[in-house]
Amino acid sequence: MIVVAPNTVLNPAALETRQVPKKMFRRVAVLPRRAGFATWARIVFDVQILRYLVALAPFVVAMLIWPRLAFPIAQAPILMVLLVGLVEMKMLRVSKDGRADLIDEDAAARGLDTLRFRARSILTRLAARKELSEHRLHLVIEQSELARVPPLTLVSVQLDGPDPQLLPLDADEQRLIRDELFGGALTERELLRINLREDVFLRDVALEARGVSAHARLAALMERAPAAEHAQ
């Protein structure tokens, strides 16, 4: 999971938006400030043109090994298209008929209920921490639709209002999302199965900031107090 915010990516200008929820896959290059090799490899793998080039690599290798065959190989675009289609549609994705077998309808419904419950809990705490009292907060969870590789999940907190934006998140707020959103029965892989079944890869859970209780705001104030004392 990558928590996406203006202060967690190398290209914050790419996160500017005119409407919420903002869709990122195939529209925005997410470049996290801190990520390991595996995360970067997964991000690169999601770039479609790069996957095409990898799929076509055998043709390039064949032309280098047998230069006399370079012209005939270059004149075989149908084979290239078929190979790319095989990799993209058969190896990396699940057919429409196979999606229903990934998870049953009741389990999918329970998973989405859990996601909404956890997302609203996170949004409540974030709204209280940030002392937001108006407009609508959105927790946006977007996943890559590639099925046979590790899930790639982008999570952001977006504010709907006169100035729609992705909110910056401090270290504690990022940790809250990482610790509370996935776990137990609802993992990133489980959510991907649900998304593949329903062919929906962006989940948006909203919360009116004005609806956050005084109790939640007081709890957030008490959470911040020890951190502030420690910082001093």
Q: What pLDDT, in 10s, does the model give residues 190-203? A: 999 999 999 999 99
If asked whether residues 138 and 68 sit together in one domain, one would say: no
Q: Are 123 and 207 in contact (CB under 8 A)?
A: yes
- Banded model confidence at residue 227, pLDDT cuts 50, 70, 90: low
Where in the sequence is the domain holding 172, given as residue range(s)?
A: 2-31+98-231
The pTM for the full model equals 0.85
**E strands of the chain, at which residues?**
2-3, 136-143, 153-160, 165-166, 202-208
Residue at 71: amino acid letter:
F
Decide if 38 is inside a domain.
no
Residue ending a domain, choose from 55, 74, 97:
97
Asked, for residue 39, whether it belongs to a domain, the answer is no
The total number of structural domains in the chain stands at 2
Q: What are the E-state strand segments in 30-186?
A: 136-143, 153-160, 165-166
Q: What is the pLDDT of residues 96-142, one digit of tens each?
A: 888 888 999 999 999 999 999 999 999 999 998 888 888 899 999 99
Q: Name the least confident of 77-81, 122-126, 223-227.
A: 223-227
Which of 97, 117, 132 finishes a domain? 97
Single-letter residue type at 215:
H
224 confidence band (pLDDT: 50, 70, 90) = low
In a shared domain, residues 195 and 183: yes
For the chain, give the percent of residues with pLDDT over 70. Answer: 94
Query: Does 159 lie in the same domain as 146?
Result: yes
